[in-house]
Amino acid sequence: MNLSDTLDQGLQALNLPLAATGRQQLLDYLALLAKWNKVYNLTAVREPESMLRLHLLDSLAALTPLLRHTQGQPTRVLDVGSGGGLPGVAWAIAAPDSLRISCVDTVAKKARFIAQVGAELGLKNLIAEHARVEALDRPPFPVITSRAFASLADFVQLTRSLLAPGGVWMALKGQHPADEIAALPADVEVFHVEQLQVPGLDAQRCIVWMRPRG
């Protein structure tokens, strides 16, 4: 099965109907990731089909829960420690009218790659930020997400000043991180741990939804 067919099957399993343009942009992003990875070491995953499952579909599995949370309303999202642009770039491609994504990374070459992807694919809703997140000076975000960035406690501590009133943290994790949840500060509550099923991936995935108490 080629990459296009694998992607189509995955999108169907996730119930994410994308126009041909969006599907092609996801494949183009995958090609750019594989190309730049040879020089910039953006991800340890090298094989395109593995990248598709472990990165693209893994990120897209969390998109429907996010759009359910935002109720389809246009929303600014901060993707912290975005690396090669995951999940932010995948979300920007798949929900161009609903999400405006800022991807921040401390590594200049990774931020440069994300900016290049945005330029080449014409993603007007994607912003690349080269900065330490705790030093980022931007209006607060209704949703702050991370994927394999840091412990939950460090994630909320580093981004607290960037969370809008009424906003939520959305941490993408593997198996249920009970120890990390137990280590959260008392003024942060976990209001939902949502299990995810990634097509073609036999591994545990979940979203830890958090917000400030009170």
| Beta bridge partners of residue 100, listed in sequence order | 76
- pLDDT at res. 12: 97
Pairwise CA distance, residues 169 & 143, whole Å: 6
In 3D, which of 103, 106, 48, 49 has the Cα closest to residue 77? 103
- pLDDT at res. 117: 97
- pLDDT at res. 193: 98
- pLDDT at res. 82: 92
Q: Which segments of the chain have a pLDDT < 70?
A: 42, 44
- pLDDT at res. 44: 66
Task: Kindly state the DSSP code that residue 57 receives in the 8-state scheme.
Answer: I
- pLDDT at res. 63: 97
Contacts of 171 (CB under 8 A, 6+ apart): 145, 146, 149, 152, 155, 207, 208, 210
